[in-house]
Amino acid sequence: MTLSKKEIREIVGLTFSELSSNPKGWYDRACSFKAAAQLLAKNEGGTLAIPYNLSAGLSLELLLKAIALVKGKSFNTSHCLNDLCRNADVTITDDQKCTLELLSEVIVWSGRYPAPKRQEQWDNYHDSVFEKHVIREKVGNTGKVIAHKGRFPTLENYLKIWQLFENEFRNVFNNPA
């Protein structure tokens, strides 16, 4: 008797159901994107900022989905990191919420395309999301724009959020209810 490829996959546990519901698999994939983000962050000229932000955002998305799974929750296919954070019952600061909002935009479009599918997304990004990450100062006739240190997705801010999420994952993973 010859087994089909699907039957062999089922015997060894390599099934869609098994892999899609395995929190450790989601966590491991998140770690690979974290490693990529850290490598890209070392770029001296800043030319890899978009791939860094995309890798950082994807790592957090995957880690939040791992947290939801380890807590016995399901999640939708959203890339909205703040929604995933709420779903996983992870508490973050307002500055971290802004960072996640920006990284969500990177995952959805700005990390892959020069413009989103709709004008409204473009306007929202520039008029609302991005503005939360800059500080505009005017002294006399001179204006200055600088990154908001607590919100901009620098490596330091990203790693603080990563550590918070990873601690949550490990705590629940190592101490099941």
Question: What pLDDT, in 10s, does the model give residues 36-54?
Answer: 999 999 886 677 899 999 9
pTM reported for the whole predicted model? 0.90
The whole-chain average pLDDT of the chain stands at: 92
**Cα–Cα distance between 140 and 125 in angstroms, integer?**
29
Domains of the chain: 14-112+151-174 (1.20.120.330)
Q: With CA atoms as reference, report the closest residue to 129 among 172, 97, 157.
A: 97
